[in-house]
């Protein structure tokens, strides 16, 4: 039974909600360690005031943060990584408007990959370094590993693009998952990925309408569907589930 759950990027939209639903399980034997580079993003979690939750500020891309985590080395440990450089759609539309998928400068492209894929690589590197190979590692993927973002989602004229850097960063995690699945299995560890379609939040109505037209189910992924899947893979998935990329997209990539 899992005794410690480490949530990287816990200050983001989905990471924070996942911590909240895990705490709601009221499992007194489960310690949740919420990690983010910006500790202030965890303020709302701190207000929950529970002894099961530990908050840690760390740069999970570049630092050796493992020793900063209050891990129960005698129990099973699961790490889940929500860290990514995204270009999200808000109530005002996509946060930055790019006239081409290649608008980012090379250093900006590399920085994006460094955050998204680099955080996952650093996690695996540190688990190997610190003898924590028996852990279960869960990465968060995207439909844009398998299909490119359609520009009609971001403007009615189809001339606004989501940078290809996001797709590249998520895609680069797949060989990490496959290699980690083979390597960690030698130590009774495993590695999996859960890839989501667009998750319903506060996106503007034009984006929502365009996404519905492209989705076989004519909807974004409900937050609760995403959270149920994550809870299953963390707490209830069989140990033989290893090296998988589970798609939660309503058939968007079919």
Would you list the domain boundaries of the chain?
A: 2-248
- Distance separating alpha carbons of residues 171 and 167, to the nearest angstrom: 6
Q: Do the Cβ atoms of 192 and 240 come closer than 8 Å?
A: no
Per-residue pLDDT tens digits for 173-217: 999 999 999 999 999 999 999 999 999 999 999 999 999 999 999
Q: What is the pLDDT of residue 163?
A: 96
Alpha-carbon distance values, 162 to 25, 125, 174, 195, 202 (Å): 37, 30, 20, 18, 18
Q: What is the pLDDT of residue 183?
A: 99
- Distance separating alpha carbons of residues 135 and 142, to the nearest angstrom: 23
50 compared with 244, residue with greater pLDDT: 244
* Mean of pLDDT values over 115-134: 98
Crossing angle, helix 164-171 and helix 106-129, to 10 degrees? Answer: 20
Q: What is the pLDDT of residue 27?
A: 86
Q: Which helix (H) or strand (E) holds 245?
A: strand 245-248
Per-residue pLDDT tens digits for 209-224: 999 999 999 999 999 9
Class of domain 2-248: alpha beta
Q: What is the pLDDT of residue 211?
A: 96
Burial zone of 225 (CB within 10 Å; 0-12 exposed, 13-18 middle, 19+ buried): middle
Cβ atoms < 10 Å from Cβ of 134: 16
Task: Residue 143: name the closest of 118, 167, 173 by CA.
Answer: 167
Choice among 42-51, 135-144, 177-186 with the minimum mean pLDDT: 42-51
Given a cut of 90, whether residue 93 has pLDDT beyond it is no
Q: What is the pLDDT of residue 95?
A: 87
Given a cut of 90, whether residue 56 has pLDDT beyond it is yes
Per-residue pLDDT tens digits for 62-89: 999 999 999 988 899 999 999 999 999 9
Given a cut of 90, whether residue 110 has pLDDT beyond it is yes
In the chain, pLDDT over 90 holds for what percent of residues? Answer: 91
Beta pairing partners, 78: 5, 136
- In this prediction the pTM is 0.96
């Amino acid at each position: 039974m899992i005794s410690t759950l480490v949530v990287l990027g816990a200050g983001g939209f989905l990471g924070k909600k996942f911590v909240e639903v895990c705490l709601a399980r009221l499992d007194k034997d489960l310690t949740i360690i919420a990690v983010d580079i910006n500790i202030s993003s965890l303020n709302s979690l701190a207000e929950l005031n529970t002894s099961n939750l530990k908050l840690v500020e760390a740069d999970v891309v570049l630092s050796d943060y493992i020793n900063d985590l209050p891990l129960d080395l005698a129990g099973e440990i699961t790490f889940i990584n929500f860290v990514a450089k995204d270009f999200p759609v808000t109530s005002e539309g996509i946060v930055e408007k790019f006239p081409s998928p290649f608008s980012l400068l090379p250093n900006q492209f590399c920085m994006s990959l460094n955050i998204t894929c680099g955080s996952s690589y650093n996690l695996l590197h540190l688990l190997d370094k610190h003898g924590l190979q028996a852990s279960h590692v869960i990465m968060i993927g995207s439909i844009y590993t398998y299909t490119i973002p359609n520009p009609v989602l971001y403007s009615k004229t189809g001339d606004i693009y989501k940078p290809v850097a996001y797709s590249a960063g998520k895609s680069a995690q797949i060989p990490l998952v496959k290699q980690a699945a083979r390597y960690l299995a030698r130590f009774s560890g495993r590695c999996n990925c859960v890839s989501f379609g667009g998750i319903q939040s506060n996106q503007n109505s034009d984006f929502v309408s365009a996404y519905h037209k492209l989705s076989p189910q004519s909807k974004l992924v409900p937050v609760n569907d995403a959270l149920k899947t994550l809870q299953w893979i963390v707490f209830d998935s069989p140990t033989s589930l290893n090296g998988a990329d589970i798609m939660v997209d309503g058939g968007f990539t079919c």
